[in-house]
Structure 1
């Protein structure tokens, strides 16, 4: 009879395990979404994870759920955990908008186009970027490089535009416009910044436009005439 004890115990363990799995693997009926999100974003998350929920609370693969959320363009950090007895807790931290993009979008620090969530007052404080040739990520990289040059002189970019010819134009927060062309953008911005600090900063009201597309200087359009400064 002892011979039957071990197999019997094994059978009991298997049955108990299967029963426990069935009991604990309850259908997921609650998806709790937290984070600084609006209703549209919360619904987008629920739609993104809906296909992963039919495996039950124990069967659901949290990594798959997390990946489905991260495929949306705007989540930066995503945390997913089981919420007993029948739910998932999802916490999402969004990418922060650092620039306006085109007609109504926003860009993250990585140059990803993300939905706008900034208030109207916050949005007008963000620089406006647009490009006809470069990608959003490339435009953001140009913005970062040029901003670093200007920051040394206490200036900031309000508008950065690329034309259909691939030429870049910058408008500073004070309203001054600078043409940079298609190449050597950082070098040309540095040349402009030096002229700005030495000559233009104290008389901006008289400056209409700066053309920095020259190899050894910049051209300044006054009201009038046109004066060229060379290093």
Structure 2
């Protein structure tokens, strides 16, 4: 090799190239470590009704590692999405020392159980309920049923509208029986769904008879049991009235 001029020239050129690459890498590493590129700003945009600077500092800033070049955007996104109220976050770099974050908050529809909220999309999340500006309906049900309960809530809104009332509480029991508390104070027991029309038929039965029921017993109907095959029972002012009673409930 030492007598081969071509090979010597090739080796020398390769060493020069390697040296240049090493110098460039070292220079690049030195450059990206400069204080100028340390993260100094987080720009928040999107849904920020429940997000403020103290919340971001407390929940996210301490978890961001690196600078403009080295910060892991996926880790940053996950950190923002773990904050209360945040459903989704997108994060991008802003030259030379900032991050821009676009947030999407959960839209609360009601409370769920004792300590959670449920969104309009039927997603459960945890947040400070003291931040709510209005009273929300209360929902509850077995694990994995939030979307079903939300869907039924919208059905009950339509089905009980003829009563001049709206659902304030919707509960699906561990046996998958439905109970609705209406804004007029009436608790409605609908029972379990036998088929796709069970709840609708039972709700219609009560709505169709509501005018006659209130004319006879007054508007203070505390309880309505719709679990009878062809009738229902009500309780008002200490009385119990059964229309078309059948044997047993379903």
| Same structural fold, with TM-score higher than 0.5 when normalized by the shorter chain | yes
Match of 2:138 in 1: 128
CA gap of 1:168–1:151, structure 2 versus 1, over 3 A, is: same
Gapped regions of structure 1 (runs ≥ 5): none
Q: CA deviation at 1:72?
A: 4.0
Q: CA deviation at 1:56?
A: 1.6
Q: Provide the rounded CA distance (Å) in 2 between the counterparts of 1:82 and 1:94.
A: 21
Match of 1:197 in 2: 207
Is the counterpart of residue 172 in structure 1 residue 182 in structure 2?
yes
- Of 53-62 and 14-23, deviating more is 14-23
Q: CA deviation at 1:89?
A: 2.6
Is the counterpart of residue 221 in structure 1 residue 234 in structure 2?
yes
Number of equivalenced pairs: 222
CA contact 1:52–1:61 (8 Å) conserved in 2: no
Q: Provide the rounded CA distance (Å) in 2 between the counterparts of 1:104 and 1:42.
A: 25
Normalising by structure 1, we get a TM-score of 0.73
Match of 2:158 in 1: 151
Q: Provide the rounded CA distance (Å) in 2 between the counterparts of 1:55 and 1:128.
A: 43
Match of 1:112 in 2: 124
Match of 1:138 in 2: 145
RMSD value over aligned CA atoms?
3.7
Q: Provide the rounded CA distance (Å) in 1 between the counterparts of 2:220 and 2:50.
A: 46
CA contact 2:50–2:85 (8 Å) conserved in 1: no
Q: Could you say which structure has the larger radius of gyration?
A: 2
Deviations 1:191-210 (A, max 9, x none): 22221332114644164421
More helix by share: 1
Is the counterpart of residue 84 in structure 1 residue 120 in structure 2?
no
Gapped regions of structure 2 (runs ≥ 5): 1-8
CA gap of 1:85–1:59, structure 2 versus 1, over 3 A, is: same
Deviations 1:114-164 (A, max 9, x none): 313321xx22xx212245xx13x5245224225325415636311123567
Q: Provide the rounded CA distance (Å) in 2 between the counterparts of 1:10 and 1:113.
A: 50
Normalising by structure 2, we get a TM-score of 0.68
CA contact 1:159–1:172 (8 Å) conserved in 2: yes
